[in-house]
Structure 1
Amino acid sequence: MNKNFENSRLKGRIAEVSINGFRSLKNIDRLSLPQLTVLIGANGVGKSGFIRFFEMLGWMFRSQKLQEFVLRNGGGDDQFFMGSRTTPEITAEIRIHTERGYNDYAFKMAHLSAGDTCMLTEEAYRYSDTSKHTEANWTRLRAPAKESALPEQKNPTAKTIHRLLKQCATYQFHDTSSNAAIHMRWDISDSFQLRADGGNLAAVLLDLQQTSRPLYKFIVRQIQRVFPAMDDFALEPSSGKVLLRWKSKFSDKIFGSHLTSDGTLRLFCLITLLNMPEERLPDIMFFDEPELGLHPHAITLVCEMMRRIAQTRQLFIATQSPYMVDCFDLENIIVANAVDGATELRNLPAEKYQQWLDDEYLLSEIWLKSPVGVPL
């Protein structure tokens, strides 16, 4: 059995990707992706654009809503590197590694000026057995179309690709403004999975409190490691809805989410998500700057949980936090840099950088040794 799947529930993982022309990703060629990928780089170098690409795939395959993704993200022209006049076509190829071989998916996308949207002009998939030294021919799908044709396919390879890529879930708990979803009363029935923005956190916690009391108590204890003033959550359903509130160890007062710091709210979301039952987590999880607003001790705790989750899930973490970088290994790191507006992404090969670690440099020190984030 391949070591990538030994003692793992993963049915497949994204092993390699090529992206040309999507936002700042002008030319990403056959980038190797470990099961736990930590994308590091300064502001504006394209880390979020990389995550948005896979978020787009999730929208394409989960409910065939490519057009909605495009509209929610600035329109069609904004998806192309420097605009569609400069880059008339987006192309991409994703390689999914399973126990038996490689499942490849490729597509091309063009801009539609009418409605400022996008159209898939080509789609194809193939399966190549790792025991053979040649790659299979592509099976091409109907095109052009405004939505992917892959979900309609009955072929086992197409089903494998669709099943995995539709699970691409991006978690970003940044919005804690007064109108954010996490402050709203939430339907208690929406509690199986935590939403990408954490809006249904109260409903998820209430469900765990009622159906998995030991796990719920464990989550509270983990939060208390960083936020010792907290005693417990105060989750009281009313008319089928519940509001996020918590109790202090030092007062009888019940605190609502509006009286809770932004960093603490994000901590609630992260620790709950990373301790959910396995069957309630997607196979591929993306985190965009999860360190925002967290104390260094909280970052270390969250990273410990991420490393554990990555034993059975594929995780992508975009960060610019030295504290977070130092929680992972050289093999996990991909460095992002920007040259003339285009994102460059590269792995840090062990044979080149291991000596720095042997000399007791931290990963963050290696990254910060030069303006581009790698040693001169």
Structure 2
Amino acid sequence: MAAATPPTRTNRIRSVTIEGFRSLKNIRNLELPPLTVLIGANGAGKSTLIRFFELLSWMLKAKNLQEFVLRHGGGDDQFFMGARKTPRIHAELCLDTEKGQNDYRFDLAHISAGDSVMVMNEAYRYSAHDIPTKAKWTEIDAVGKESSLLDQTHKTAKTIVNLLRQCSTYHFHDTSINAAIHNRWDVTDSFRLRSDGGNLAAVLLDLRKTDGKRYELIVKQINRVLPTFKDFVLEEEAGKVLLRWVGRQSDKVFGSHLTSDGSLRLFCLLTLLNLPPDRLPDVMFFDEPELGLHPHAITLVAEMFKRLSKKRQIFIATQSPYLVDCFELENIIVANANNGETLLRNLPREQYQEWLDDEYQLSDIWLKQAVGGME
């Protein structure tokens, strides 16, 4: 009998150090599991970690750091308590690939003129898994308003850029009348689901044409949660498609404007989480994905997060006890606020196993203040 093929190591972010970014004053060597669930009350700062990785994605995607800063309140707002109190942001990331560890570090300084930021002290290195000592840093001498890592030709720099630029945050919150999901969409924009779900109809139409079994699975899963749902009605007209569906009780076709917010978010989540891995980024962030979902839907989505985390790295920010209880201690990072500073920490099993042995749920531990939950 042939030996089993070992699972392929997923490229992922192993740990991060962040000093001075917004409320993240001093986060050192925070371990990030393949499936990370950030829990915390309103204002605890759990979403700030996601914003940091959004900054990285903008910075390394097409040298759009200044655009990110402009869209998010200006340069001064990116520094803990402002640039006068915190003159510099420092960050270090450890990225795991199949053969080794890729490290990247950089600083950001505030520029008063134009309320922008400057990138400096960039460096990178690669250390093989089978070599115990760390490699020396390769320092980038350039200083400027955008990252110079993109200009490096070394394989390590390219590996780091390729992983971090793919960090994608999915917000399916906007289901207002002007939301993109209500628009007719170009059928050719169908390979990846956009972060706001705007091209959902195009993605579903493509799956129905090219991967019928996957499409049927999505429809079946939606029906498990919404028994009145029968199928999508996806008709191409002049190269565009509109999101519509039909129920089981009648042949009336419902447009997205007649669909509840929770149902639209469910359509987006189940479609995204069922896409083939090659149509997904390596690192995926979800900010409160439970909004508007029925408990049965939350359970289904949580199981799909677990399955997908074997192939892609998943980050979830939530304050839902129901969602938290779907995961394990090793998945949890707790966010607490202390005098404007966000504290993030893992939950060691040896410290909290006794609570679980006494039949407490993860959410009970959090809510009862054992790890600093709600008041």
Q: Report the CA distance between 1:135 and its aligned residue.
A: 2.2
Aligned residue for 2:48, secondary structure, equals helix
Structure 1 stretches lacking a partner, 5+ long: none
In the TM superposition, what is the alpha-carbon distance from 1:207 to its structure 2 partner? 0.7
In structure 2, the partner of 1:172 is: 171
Question: In 1, Cα distance between the equivalents of 2:66 and 2:370?
Answer: 38
3-state secondary structure, aligned to 2:8: coil
Matched, 1:300 2:302: no
Deviation at 1:6, TM superposition (A): 4.6
- In structure 2, the partner of 1:323 is 322
Write the distance in 2 (CA, Å) between the matches of 1:266 and 1:6: 36
Separation (CA, whole Å) in 2 of partners of 1:204 and 1:130:
39
| Residue 54 (1) aligns with residue 53 (2) | yes
1:100: which partner in 2? 99
Q: Secondary structure at the match of 1:103?
A: strand
Contact 1:55 1:168 in 2 (8 A): yes
Aligned to 1:28: 27
Alpha-carbon separation, structure 2, partners of 1:29 and 1:208: 42
Indicate whether 1:8 and 2:8 are aligned. Answer: yes
Partner of 2:146: 147
Instruction: Verify the 8 A CA contact 2:40 2:373 in the aligned structure 1.
Output: no
Residue of structure 1 equivalent to 2:185: 186
User: Could you state the TM-score of these two structures normalised by the residue count of structure 2?
Assistant: 0.95
Residue 159 of structure 2 corresponds to which residue in structure 1?
160
TM-score w.r.t. structure 1 length?
0.95
Partner of 1:80: 79
Q: Letter of the aligned partner of 1:58 in structure 2? A: S
**CA–CA distance in 2 between the matches of 1:201 and 1:190?**
10
| Root mean square deviation of aligned Cα | 1.6
Which secondary structure state, in structure 1, belongs to the residue aligned with residue 204 of structure 2? Answer: helix
- Match of 1:264? 263
Q: Equivalents in 1 of 2:13, 2:103: separation in Å?
A: 10
Corresponding position of 2:36: 37
Per the TM alignment, residue 9 of structure 1 is displaced from its structure 2 partner at its CA by: 5.4
Matched with 2:136 is 137
Q: Distance in 1 between matches of 2:373 and 2:48?
A: 21
Identity of aligned residues (%): 66
Rounded Cα–Cα distance in structure 2 between residues aligned with 1:272 and 1:347:
30
CA distance in structure 2 between the aligned counterparts of 1:139 and 1:204, rounded to whole angstroms = 42
- What letter corresponds to residue 311 of structure 1 in structure 2? K
CA deviations 1:290-314 (Å, max 9, x no partner) are 0011111100000010000001111
Judge conservation of contact 2:169–2:287 (CA < 8 Å) in 1. yes
Task: For 2:226, give the aligned amino acid.
Answer: F
Aligned length: 370
Q: 1:132 to 1:211 in 2, by over 3 A?
A: closer
Structure 2: distance between partners of 1:153 and 1:204: 35
- Assess if the C-alpha contact under 8 Å between 1:286 and 1:316 holds in 2: yes
Partner letter of residue 361 of structure 2? L
Unaligned runs of 5+ in 2: none
Contact 1:8 1:311 in 2 (8 A): no
Distance apart, 1:373 and its partner CA = 2.9
Q: Name the CA distance, whole Å, in 2 between partners of 1:256 and 1:194.
A: 19
Cα offset, 1:327, TM superposition: 0.5
Cα distance in structure 1, aligned partners of 2:239 and 2:131: 56
Instruction: State the Cα deviation string for residues 115-140 of structure 1 (Å, max 9, x = none).
Output: 22211022110122344443222111
Distance 1:245 1:9, change over 3 A: farther
Q: Aligned partners of 1:354, 1:80: CA distance in 2, in Å? A: 37
- Shift of the alpha carbon at 1:110? 1.1
In structure 1, what is the Cα distance between the partners aligned to 2:300 and 2:198? 22
CA contact (8 A) 2:243 2:255 kept: yes
1:290-341, Cα deviation, whole Å (9 max, x unpaired): 0011111100000010000001111111110011101000111000001000
**Matching residue's letter, 1:7:** P
